[in-house]
Chains A and B, each alone.
Chain A
Amino acid sequence: MAADPALKMTRKEFVSDQDVRWCPGCGDYSILANVQRVMPELGVPRENVVFVSGIGCSSRFPYYMNTYGFHTIHGRAPAFATGIKASRPELSVWIVTGDGDGLSIGGNHLLHTIRRNINTQILLFNNQIYGLTKGQYSPTSKVGIKTKSTPQGSIDHPVDPIAFAIGCGATFIARTIDVDAKHMQNILKRAHEHKGTAFVEILQNCPVFNDGIWEDVQDRKSRAKASLVLEHGQPLVYGPAENRQGIVFKDGIPSVIDLAEDDDPIERGVVVHDEHPEASSYAGVLATLQRPDFPLPVGVFRAVEKPTYEAMLQDQVDSATAERGVGDLSALLHSGDTWRI
């Protein structure tokens, strides 16, 4: 990625001339605004940025970014992005997907893109519903949800995007919230800085078909108690100042303790957040923290270094060329046994 810090760019340069066609009040609007705001700060020239999406409400995203963009087919965006990034490692490639697109029809592509550690940013908008097809339950919907396709309630056990990404061996995993501009912008920057697949779950409200599922973490008043902001080197403490709580692990099982105002959380045994352990077991325990028994963690779950797919592929091209010289077509055609007549 050709990052040039001297490049002076504005948010407006990243806004395309297309009318945005999401429903009024959709969480996608604020995600778009935050991405457009962060882009100029990344120092990547507009022409080197590519947004790739699949199908669904979230996947209209590339049309609204004044960069290169490719709105592809259902579930396959990670595979298209792989072809782009593997062949042109210098491009900054962003994948925009949703819970249906990414975890249902495209689950296989998401898995393999993440495990290969292709240096892309995957933004998964999770609204726990199919919006564009008008309101069927999705792979992240809770058991029992009543939708058009589940009039008696869903009987599917949901998948958790963060746990999924951990299982795939993701080298960068984060969660953020559509309405928390500052937090999201910070996470987007971190995702971009990361060398490898950066998986970001964005909690997104669909006011039309699944309104309010993230309300307690979106609402400024309840957020402090409902969410746990992960910060590297900081103890897992959350809640209003007068009513702080912390997360302790006992035999690997998490539980909540109350903290008095003058308690030192670390002395009380509250776990200190670490983004970098090689083993993913710690992030795996964090992923199990779900409401209502626990606060929902937001922030960076895990950030570790691993060689990227496209760099290793390019290395193979370079080392083969260094060893054998630039390919000579005539020599290839005449290689092995030949005879003259």
Chain B
Amino acid sequence: MTAKNPDGIPSSQNPVSQQPGNSKPAEQLEGIAIRFAGDSGDGMQLTGTRFSDETALAGNDLSTFPDFPAEIRAPAGTMAGVSGFQIHFSSIDIHTPADQPDVLIAFNPAALRANVDDVRPMGMVIVNIDSFNQKSLTRAGYGDDPLPELRERFQVVEVPFTTLNRAALQGLDLSQREIDRCKNFFALGVLCWLYGRPMDATERWLGGKFKGDVLEGNIRTLRAGHAFGETTEIFPASFVIPAAKIAPGTYRNITGNQALAWGIVAAGVQMERNVFLGAYPITPASDVLHEVARYRHFGVKTFQAEDEMAAVSSTIGAAFAGQLAVTVSSGPGFVLKQEALGLAVMVELPLVAINVQRAGPSTGSPTKTEQGDLLAVLFGRHSESPIPIIAPCTPGDCFHAALEAFRMAVKYMTPVIVLSDGYLANSSEPWLIPEVDSLARNPVKHAHPADIGEFQPYARDPETLARPWAIPGTKGLEHRIGGLTKEDKTGNVIYDADNHGKMNALRKAKIEGIAKDYAPIEIDGPPEGEILVIGWGGTLGAITAAVESVREEGLSVSRIHLRHLNPFPSDLGDILGRFEKVLLPELSDGHLALLLRAKYLVDVRSLTKTEGQPFKIAELTEAIHELHASEN
């Protein structure tokens, strides 16, 4: 079998000697992409996550992409219920979960039908042959047995997972249903053997999760799967994917949502204030609430509100009371918060509002990714209501984005929006754990009467234009704030026309001044030339891989990735002007492209996609080639 690097070029096959404890020959691969697919009740996400953790511990670089339906349990065996988890791992630096899997494990005909056309030609397709009967084929929409035809296009491997699992678990005090639920761990065992993954971490994990015969059953079937790989004649060889050469340090696997949650907890520690998180459950953002709720011993308070408006309102209340306040949601919930965020702009209180974007409009596809909320978060409040926007670009980067957002919010006394997405939220990557000492420490200082002469709630810091953060409980600083137009400095309610304009201008200048704090934009490639590819947010991996790929083919292409979407970095206009052609791939109908065209009068070419799926590398390389071939 050949594996490819992310650019789609087959890597050389280097047969190596046997792996320890393995009597069959092992073949060395540079990297491989595997997709697990089954019913949403088959435990595919769990199997994928366990395999990812083992892979991370084996030292490979990796990137994962869970893709699951919104229904918790769609009718068994139907296409609607298919849940998938793709993992790409390699001995070299990789950026995406890969366009096409090399291997598909399909637990039933529906999973096969929904996924097999994505598999690369002559890739391996492992099916649970026990689940192939007339009824399940019909339910999946297959007329005839698809396997004869598929054997022409793929290496089809038939494994009776259900039967083998039942045989392995004979004698345990488990029901047939409980036994059958273990079969994903049999498959995991097979895969661990096939790719030389250790299984200790999974056994430890099982030990923490289950007890008694359920624990025994899962471990027994995992080991049985491994032994099956070793002894069966179906697999003549196993594969070795050597550890990747990545920067030294301590690593862990992390998803974007986990990283956001830890960034929130870290902000409390680094800024020496208690954290308050107000949220209402919504896919795909709820995991941030779940994760933060586990850390009360950090002084963190989480509040599950009655609705999105209460979530953000309680958060603003906590900010008024002096806490590091944050609210988290996804598109449909975020728009419900916009009125209150307008108030936060008016009263100039610091808080962080996270939007983990999903595919819309309306309820849309809750578990699918998109970047279609940029214009809504930028302009979706009434009137002039500027809020800074930070967009993390990898799962691990979500940690740093959360920390940066809190620092910015407090320094400039403003709400700050963090724009993540469903892809970042659920995919994982190895993350170099930062040394806590290397993280900025910014203890919050609330206003104190001793430090100010005459207290004025809207007097401004001459440099940042921030007003003082005076909190209840501070004697001598009693004051009132609210949504009505304020007088400059005093904050008194006033409807004077000049003052109204002045306050709008002050708030605008304050937000625009934030760009002074940005580091210069990093240009990957020549600082000027023919083609510049710009991205933002979770498309970083795919764009980087595509640019590297076309460079290998001899094209000179430069690349930048925007983290700050409001205000824009001050060097952005200059960089845009230094390239003949600018390409902007976005998982939307071109929101950032619209903004850049309007602001910088540059002919930005927009590459749009709104299918609820991330970009494939091939889609991007094709667009770059087309742009290169175009006249101007």
Which A positions have Cβ atoms within 8 angstroms of B?
16, 18, 45-52, 55, 62-63, 65-73, 76, 78-84, 86-88, 90-91, 108-109, 111-112, 313, 316-317, 320-321, 323-327, 329-330, 332-334, 336-341
Contact B262 A83 (CB under 8 A): no
Q: Give the 8 A-B CB pairs with smallest separation, nearest first.
A: A71-B482, A83-B317, A327-B298, A83-B314, A69-B480, A79-B313, A79-B310, A320-B296
Q: State A288–B503 Cα separation when bound (angstroms).
A: 50
- Per-position contact with A for B269-309: 1 when CB-CB < 8 Å, else 0? 11000101010000000000000000111111101011101
Contact B252 A340 (CB under 8 A): no
Contact A81 B317 (CB under 8 A): yes
Would A63 and B276 be within 8 Å (CB), given that A68-B472, A332-B295, A341-B251 are in contact?
Answer: no
Q: State A62–B347 Cα separation when bound (angstroms).
A: 15
Interface centre among B274, B322, B343 (most CB of A within 10 A): B343
Instruction: Name the contact of A338 in the complex, choosing from B247, B252, B475, B479 (C-beta under 8 A).
Output: B252
Q: State A340–B251 Cα separation when bound (angstroms).
A: 6
Would A84 and B472 be within 8 Å (CB), given that A313-B301, A333-B434 are in contact?
Answer: yes
Contact B313 A16 (CB under 8 A): no
Residue numbers in A under 8 Å from B253 (CB-CB): 337
Contact A329 B266 (CB under 8 A): yes
* B side interface size, CB within 8 A: 71
Is residue B129 within 8 Å, beta carbon to beta carbon, of the partner chain? no
Contact A80 B250 (CB under 8 A): no
- Beyond the given pairs A47-B474, A109-B306, 8 more chain A to chain B contacts, judged by CB atoms under 8 angstroms and listed by A's residue number, are A68-B472, A69-B481, A70-B320, A76-B340, A82-B317, A86-B276, A333-B434, A341-B248
Contact A323 B297 (CB under 8 A): yes
Contact A325 B313 (CB under 8 A): no
Contact A83 B247 (CB under 8 A): no
Instruction: Name the contact of B269 in the complex, choosing from A80, A320, A327 (C-beta under 8 A).
Output: A327
Q: State A72–B481 Cα separation when bound (angstroms).
A: 8
15 pairs of residues in contact across A and B, judged by CB atoms under 8 Å:
A16-B480, A47-B474, A62-B482, A68-B472, A71-B480, A79-B306, A80-B314, A82-B314, A108-B306, A108-B310, A112-B306, A326-B297, A333-B436, A337-B56, A341-B250
Which B positions have Cβ atoms within 8 angstroms of A?
53, 56-57, 59, 201, 243, 246-253, 262, 265-266, 269-270, 274, 276, 278, 295-301, 303, 305-307, 309-311, 313-323, 325, 339-340, 343, 347, 433-436, 472-484, 492-493
Closest to B313 in A: A79
Contact B274 A71 (CB under 8 A): no
Closest to B316 in A: A80
Would A71 and B481 be within 8 Å (CB), given that A80-B317, A82-B303, A83-B315 are in contact?
Answer: yes
Closest to A317 in B: B296
Instruction: Name the contact of B303 in the complex, choosing from A70, A86, A336 (C-beta under 8 A).
Output: A86
Closest to B439 in A: A329
Q: State A124–B317 Cα separation when bound (angstroms).
A: 20
Contact B246 A341 (CB under 8 A): yes
Residue numbers in B under 8 Å from A321 (CB-CB): 296-297, 299
Closest to B296 in A: A320
Contact B295 A327 (CB under 8 A): yes
Contact B306 A111 (CB under 8 A): yes
Q: Whole-angstrom distance from the CB of B512 to the nearest CB of chain A? A: 26
What DSSP secondary structure best describes chain B's contact surface?
Answer: mixed
Q: State A330–B437 Cα separation when bound (angstroms).
A: 9
Residue numbers in B under 8 Å from A338 (CB-CB): 250-252, 433
Q: Whole-angstrom distance from the CB of B180 to the nearest CB of chain A? A: 28
Contact A83 B478 (CB under 8 A): no
Contact B276 A83 (CB under 8 A): yes
Would A88 and B321 be within 8 Å (CB), given that A72-B483, A330-B436 are in contact?
Answer: yes
Q: State A88–B297 Cα separation when bound (angstroms).
A: 17
Q: State A327–B436 Cα separation when bound (angstroms).
A: 13
Residue numbers in B under 8 Å from A108 (CB-CB): 306-307, 310
Contact A80 B313 (CB under 8 A): yes
Residue numbers in A under 8 Å from B56 (CB-CB): 337, 339
Q: Whole-angstrom distance from the CB of B464 to the nearest CB of chain A? A: 23
Would A83 and B318 be within 8 Å (CB), given that A72-B482, A334-B433 are in contact?
Answer: yes
Instruction: Name the contact of B59 in the complex, choosing from A18, A50, A339 (C-beta under 8 A).
Output: A339
Q: State A69–B479 Cα separation when bound (angstroms).
A: 6
Instruction: Name the contact of B339 in the complex, choosing from A73, A78, A337 (C-beta under 8 A).
Output: A73
Residue numbers in B under 8 Å from A68 (CB-CB): 472, 478-480
Interface centre among A78, A111, A317, A333 (most CB of B within 10 A): A333
Residue numbers in A under 8 Å from B321 (CB-CB): 50, 83-84, 87-88, 91
Contact B250 A76 (CB under 8 A): no
Q: State A90–B253 Cα separation when bound (angstroms).
A: 40
Would A339 and B320 be within 8 Å (CB), given that A69-B480, A80-B313, A87-B301 are in contact?
Answer: no
Contact A87 B318 (CB under 8 A): yes
Q: State A316–B302 Cα separation when bound (angstroms).
A: 11
Residue numbers in B under 8 Å from A320 (CB-CB): 295-297
Residue numbers in A under 8 Å from B309 (CB-CB): 76, 79, 109
Contact B478 A67 (CB under 8 A): yes
Residue numbers in B under 8 Å from A72 (CB-CB): 313, 316, 343, 482-483
Q: State A72–B320 Cα separation when bound (angstroms).
A: 11
Closest to A61 in B: B480
Q: State A333–B320 Cα separation when bound (angstroms).
A: 30
Q: State A45–B478 Cα separation when bound (angstroms).
A: 11
Q: State A324–B57 Cα separation when bound (angstroms).
A: 27
Q: Whole-angstrom distance from the CB of B466 to the nearest CB of chain A? A: 19
Q: State A62–B472 Cα separation when bound (angstroms).
A: 14
Instruction: Name the contact of B473 in the complex, choosing from A90, A112, A340 (C-beta under 8 A).
Output: A90
Interface centre among B56, B295, B306, B340 (most CB of A within 10 A): B306
Q: State A336–B431 Cα separation when bound (angstroms).
A: 13
Q: State A333–B436 Cα separation when bound (angstroms).
A: 9
Instruction: Name the contact of B250 in the complex, choosing from A62, A69, A323, A340 (C-beta under 8 A).
Output: A340
Q: State A312–B472 Cα separation when bound (angstroms).
A: 22
Instruction: Name the contact of B323 in the complex, choosing from A48, A73, A87 (C-beta under 8 A).
Output: A87
Residue numbers in B under 8 Å from A326 (CB-CB): 297-299
Residue numbers in B under 8 Å from A332 (CB-CB): 262, 265, 295, 298
Closest to B481 in A: A70
Contact A80 B320 (CB under 8 A): yes
Closest to A108 in B: B306
Q: State A109–B310 Cα separation when bound (angstroms).
A: 7
Contact B480 A70 (CB under 8 A): yes
Contact A63 B472 (CB under 8 A): no
Instruction: Name the contact of A91 in the complex, choosing from B314, B323, B473 (C-beta under 8 A).
Output: B473
Closest to B275 in A: A87
Contact A48 B473 (CB under 8 A): yes
Q: State A316–B296 Cα separation when bound (angstroms).
A: 7
Q: State A54–B262 Cα separation when bound (angstroms).
A: 34
Contact B318 A86 (CB under 8 A): yes
Q: Whole-angstrom distance from the CB of A87 to the nearest CB of chain B? A: 4
Q: State A68–B270 Cα separation when bound (angstroms).
A: 28
Contact B262 A317 (CB under 8 A): no
Closest to A68 in B: B472
Would A88 and B296 be within 8 Å (CB), given that A63-B482, A82-B314, A336-B252 are in contact?
Answer: no
Contact A79 B305 (CB under 8 A): yes
Q: State A327–B269 Cα separation when bound (angstroms).
A: 9
Q: Whole-angstrom distance from the CB of A319 to the nearest CB of chain B? A: 8
Would A47 and B475 be within 8 Å (CB), given that A72-B482, A334-B250, A337-B252 are in contact?
Answer: yes
Residue numbers in A under 8 Å from B479 (CB-CB): 68-69
Q: Whole-angstrom distance from the CB of A70 to the nearest CB of chain B? A: 6
Q: State A330–B234 Cα separation when bound (angstroms).
A: 46
Q: Whole-angstrom distance from the CB of B401 to the nearest CB of chain A? A: 16
Residue numbers in B under 8 Å from A90 (CB-CB): 473
Q: State A332–B268 Cα separation when bound (angstroms).
A: 13
Q: State A341–B433 Cα separation when bound (angstroms).
A: 12
Closest to B57 in A: A339
Residue numbers in B under 8 Å from A334 (CB-CB): 250, 252, 433
Q: State A76–B253 Cα separation when bound (angstroms).
A: 40
Q: State A68–B262 Cα separation when bound (angstroms).
A: 33
Q: State A70–B321 Cα separation when bound (angstroms).
A: 11
Contact B492 A87 (CB under 8 A): no
Contact B436 A52 (CB under 8 A): no
